[in-house]
Amino acid sequence: MPRRSTVQPVRLMGDERLRLFSGSANPELAQLVARYLGLAPGPLVRKSFADGELYVQIQESIRGCDVYLVQPTCSPVNDSLMELLILIDACRRASARQITAVLPYYGYARADRKTAGRESITAKLVANLITAAGVDRVLAMDLHSAQIQAYFDIPLDHVYGSPVLLQYIKEKQLGDMVIVSPDVGGVSRARAFAKKLDDAPLAIVDKRRQAPNEVEIMNVIGDVKGKTAILVDDMIDTAGTISEAAKVLLRQGAKEVYACATHAVFSSRAIDRLSDGTFTEVLVTNTIPVPPDRRFAQLRVLSVADLIGEAIWRIHEDSSVSSMFR
């Protein structure tokens, strides 16, 4: 089956089996995905009771339909997650033929294993909750760790935001680049990124974490002197790790530093750290909405709507999703 263009929208005229609904976490992204598919997001009512309980009602018949629910579980994480579960339950009780949870951002993913006694593995817990709610399939983007795919006992399609980031960097024609992983755990991600940039050289920032959200940078493994350093990660949360890594790279002689991440979590002091002049540009995608008061001069928000829309179309047509990234 030929690959669809990411420029022209896919028109599903006459195919009324496919329905797309958006939760409240990122309706702008859902609207762009729907536009790519030639659809309009389905109507629904979402209300909150005085005590904070959520109420959701689908406003059209979806009996026998393939339903796609677009809802990143981003801040407020608990509300976004609970709304997703309620949406899934509402669709199941409305006799949808198949329900796919589209998770541009998967919250609670960082606790994906036990590192000390008496801890919860929340990445697995959330997978259990989503499955128990009645979803048939999950479409997720840039999971914090690949092993989370195994936490689901239902089909999961894992797609990546890197193509839009790579395209932007290629168009910049930055010249002598080095791709940098901000920690040892992200080496495979950075290596894959470097391979797509004509096998650009790779460097690693070695760090030691003294406490949660506090990082002590040790040294740089690799040559960065006189080069444009591109730090690659899956998310930017407090920006502590990536900002300290950038400062070390500049001290080691890097000409300039770019930050690339799929998910712009941007909590705590992230904006101050990212906008202090250390970075030439900070590249993120719109998996998580970035409100106007969280934007700054160096920030560039790139859209992954076409990628998600293409993946939805391929799932609906029983076509290959992984071939999008070959």
Catalytic site positions: 207
Q: How far apart are CA 144 and CA 323, in angstroms?
A: 21
Q: How far apart are CA 181 and CA 188, in angstroms?
A: 9
Query: What is the greatest pairwise CA distance in the chain?
Result: 61
* Residue 35, helix vs strand vs coil: helix
Pairing of strands 202-211, 214-221: antiparallel
Residue with tokens 């790139």: 302
Radius of gyration of the chain (CA): 20
Check if the beta carbon of residue 46 is closer than 8 Å to that of residue 19: no
Distance set, CA 238 to CA 222, 241, 271 (Å):
26, 8, 8
CA dihedral 299, 303, 304, 305 (to 10 degrees): 150
Q: How far apart are CA 143 and CA 107, in angstroms?
A: 9
Check if the beta carbon of residue 276 is closer than 8 Å to that of residue 18: no
Check if the beta carbon of residue 223 is closer than 8 Å to that of residue 204: no
Q: How far apart are CA 322 and CA 149, in angstroms?
A: 14
Q: Write the burial class of residue 277 (CB in 10 Å: 0-12 exposed, 13-18 middle, 19+ buried).
A: exposed
